[in-house]
Every structure is written in C-alpha cells, then in structure tokens.
Amino acid sequence: MDEVIVVGAGLAGLVAAINCARSGHKVTVFEKEKQVGGAAHIRPAVDVTPMDREALAGFIGIELKEPQVVPTEEFILYIYGKRYSIPGPWLHLHSVERGSRKTSLDQYLYKTALDAGVKFEFGAAIEDQEQYACLPFYSIIATGLTAEPFHAMRRPALNVYGHIARGTEKGAPRMIAFFDRDTKYYRYFANQNGVAFGLGFDAAPVEESLRDEWNREMEEREGWRFKQWLPHEGVVATPRIDSPALFASYRILAGTFAGMQDPFVLFGVHGSLCSGKIAAMAVEDRERAWRLFKDFTSGYKVSWSVKKIFDHLPHAGRNIALRSILSLYGSHQGRMQPFVEFLMRTLPGYGRLPEGWIWRKK
C-alpha cells in the first residue's frame, strides 16, 4: 500500500484523497489553514457552476446532494445597466456552499475523507520550491488559487485584485452578475443556505469608492446590502492558452492549480471535482488519466480565444455582443439551447463525463 501525499484540502484535493484512499492507498492531506473550508476571511461563500449533478457524482464516486449542492433558481445579469433574467435550469446551474459550516461541500467531503481513512495535517503550509522538491513521487498538488504555489512551481497565473462581500440572504438560490465599465471582468453575487456572497475584481487594485458604489447598486436593484466588504488579492489560473496541465515533472496537479478553470467566466467548481478524480487515477495509471484530462480540457483553447477577443472589444462592442446574445436566448430559448449546450462543453469536464459505473473501476 503506497502512501499518497495531497497538498491542499479544497474540492480537488479532497476528491483526490477520497478516491486514492478507496483504492487502498495510505493518504495524508497537508492543508495550510487550520481547518477545511479555505481562508476564514473569505468564507462562507457560494460558488455557482453548470453541473449534471448525478453524472458528476457517478464519475467522482461521491454523492452530491442538498444542502451542499442545490439547483440555482435564477441567474440575473446586468449588461451595462440592462437587466436580464434566465431560469437557472436553462443553464443547469447549481449553487455550492463553500467553507467550514456543516452545510458546505468542503465539510461534507472532509467527513467523507475521514470515513475513507484519510489523515490530515492542518497548519502545514507547503509553498516554496524546496518544500515541493522534497515531496514524494506522485504527490498531488491541489492548492487552489493561492499565489505562492504558482510562483514556486512556475505555473502560469495572473494576479487579480478586488473586494469580497459577506452577508446573509434567506431567499431562493440566485446568482447575480454585472458586466459594466468599472472592471475588465465582472461582479458576482450569489446566495444559498442563508449565506450571501459577493466578489468584484479587476487586473489592477480596486478603489474603495468603487466598492461602495457596488454595494449601493446591489441594494437599489436587488435589495441586497452587504455590511462587510474585505479587500482580497488572488490569482486567475488561465493567463495562457496552454495553462491546463496534469503533470509537473513527477507531481500530479489538480483543480484550478492544474488550470481546470473556465477562462471566460472562471467557473471552477465543476473542473475541480472532475480533476480530483483524474488526479487519483494518475497515481495508478498516468496514461489513462492524461487521456481523460486532455478530453476534459479540449474546449479550453476555444474559450480562451473567445475571451481574448472579448477583452479587446471596447465597452460599446461588449455591450452590443452580450445584449444581442441574451435577447436572442430569452426570446428563442428552444432554438438557441443546442448552441448554448455546445458552448457549455468548453467548461472543463462539462458534457464529457463517461456514462455508467465503468469509470469507478481501477
């Protein structure tokens, strides 16, 4: 029974640890925080992602259920001030609670890992080149969007800056996004299980006055007001067309650290869960894992290229493009749905999950 080291107790690391333990390996997870759930100052949070919940659960071998993962009722978009509402089921959206609460997916996976015999070392940061060089062969690196491991392992990353909002909201799960002139990216808000979460970010530091304007606009338009906003710096794992990578020398990469993140809107949950399973496969069969990883990220270059074109559009061009697409989708959803489904297949792993139980075998 070989020992497997997993660095990072996020979604990808936990899924990898569970599957390795179930395959008979002794597994130890090293996590720099004092508990599972991520950095306390940005948790609890709510992520939203397209997902075929049953197919994904079958692939990773772990049930995905409520209240940790719930269908998103509504997706609201503000495109340069104009409001659009899309039913969440049209895009197969699911809300995922993150953090250390019992209702979070992180805690659910942590309990599942403990039941599988996985050991954890908390407060154990592995962030510099010397530490990574000392890791055993086939260690799994799943450190998420923390900057230091990217630098230590020379992984491509783009720095981003912004503010995170934390609050409460008891309504049905929704996702609200703003595309406007104030940021190169977007603003994102979501709620689930009484938690409300928001994030606004850009490629350059964001002024507090802009944060206050975001708060005012959310209250006026949707009735949400956040009492707490915190500055946040992080990285985006998609700066290059060749960012996705399963291996770095003898190490196995997983999650957003492996580039399993959609480069256009930065969906990361679906890719992280898939990636954890693939990383566990790679411990025993590198070739099979690589083939699956390559298939799951086969739409990445298309999405990355579209994002680059979008980034170079002036705001007037972005406004016209986004409003045209959303207006067509809203009025001709039936005819547009096949095209939308095709676009969604550019998300890492989405629409590419193998059917049946065969993929649970060694």
Return the closest-CA partner of residue 243 out of 258, 254, 253.
Answer: 258
- The counts of H helices and E strands in the chain are 11, 16
pLDDT score at 355: 62
Side-chain-side CA neighbours of 33 within 13 Å: the count stands at: 17
CA distance 16 to 282: 10
* Residue 127: band (very low, low, confident or very high) from pLDDT cuts 50, 70, 90: confident
Question: Which residues have a Cβ under 8 Å from the Cβ of 313 and sit 6 or more positions away?
Answer: 321
pLDDT score at 360: 44
pLDDT score at 356: 46
Cα torsion angle, 140, 144, 150, 152, sign: negative
CA distance 237 to 240: 8
Domain that holds residue 54: 3-71+92-157+237-301+346-360
- pLDDT tens digit sequence for 253-269: 999 999 999 999 999 99
Residue that wins the pLDDT comparison between 1 and 354: 354
* Residue 207: band (very low, low, confident or very high) from pLDDT cuts 50, 70, 90: confident
pLDDT score at 361: 38
Across the range 275-297, mean pLDDT stands at 97
Q: How far is CA 87 from CA 78, 213, 359, in A?
A: 15, 27, 32
pLDDT score at 270: 97
Q: Tell whether the model's pLDDT for residue 358 goes beyond 60.
A: no
- pLDDT tens digit sequence for 32-88: 999 999 988 889 999 999 999 999 999 999 999 999 999 999 999 999 999 999 999
Q: Residue written as tokens 């209250």?
A: 219
Burial 73-111 (b: 16+ CB within 10 A, else e): ebbbbbbeeeebebebeebbbbbbbbbbbebbbbbbbbe
Across the range 238-242, mean pLDDT stands at 96
In a domain, 143, yes or no: yes
- pLDDT tens digit sequence for 321-356: 999 999 999 999 999 999 899 889 999 999 898 764
- pLDDT tens digit sequence for 142-191: 999 999 999 999 999 999 999 999 999 999 999 999 999 999 899 999 99
Q: Tell whether the model's pLDDT for residue 362 goes beyond 70.
A: no
Q: Tell whether the model's pLDDT for residue 359 goes beyond 80.
A: no
Taking all residues of the chain, what is their mean pLDDT, rounded to a whole number?
94
CA distance 280 to 288: 11
In a domain, 198, yes or no: no
The fraction of the chain above a pLDDT of 90, given in percent, is 88
In a domain, 211, yes or no: no
- Judge contact between 143 and 7, C-beta under 8 A: yes
The total number of structural domains that make up the chain: 1
pTM: 0.95
Across the range 230-250, mean pLDDT stands at 94
Q: What is the CATH number of the domain that holds 106?
A: 3.50.50.60
pLDDT score at 249: 85
In a domain, 52, yes or no: yes
Q: Tell whether the model's pLDDT for residue 108 goes beyond 80.
A: yes
CA distance 203 to 49: 23
Q: Residue written as tokens 């390996």?
A: 25
